Amino acid sequence: MNCSNKRDCPCTYDCPRHGRCCECVAHHRDHNEGVPGCFFSTEAEATYDRIIENLYRDHCKNKKEVLKS
């Protein structure tokens, strides 16, 4: 995969793909490992519950909090 990006990754799990977004997403997809931690809020990422349903709940919760403010 030709993707040479290197970013400050918010994921707390250190791995060889840390900061290499394209490689990370492809790895999670190819190995059925759920959604990469960087897609979650800091609070939800810390639970290590990376299933798609948890991502949905996290985004819905954050959307409600934004609407309240």
DSSP letters of 3-43? ---------SS--TTTT-HHHHHHHHHHTT--S-GGGS-HH
For residue 56, the tally of other CB atoms under 10 A from its CB is 11
Given this model, what pLDDT does residue 18 score? 86
Select the more confidently predicted residue: 8 or 51. 51
Q: Which of 46, 48, 16, 43 is nearest to 59 (CA)?
A: 43
Predicted confidence at residue 35, as pLDDT, reads 93
Q: What is the pLDDT of residues 1-43, one digit of tens each?
A: 566 666 688 888 888 988 888 889 999 999 998 999 999 999 9
Neighbours of 12 (CB within 10 A): 12
Q: Is the pLDDT of residue 50 over 80?
A: yes
Query: What does the domain layout of the chain look like in residue ranges?
Result: 21-68
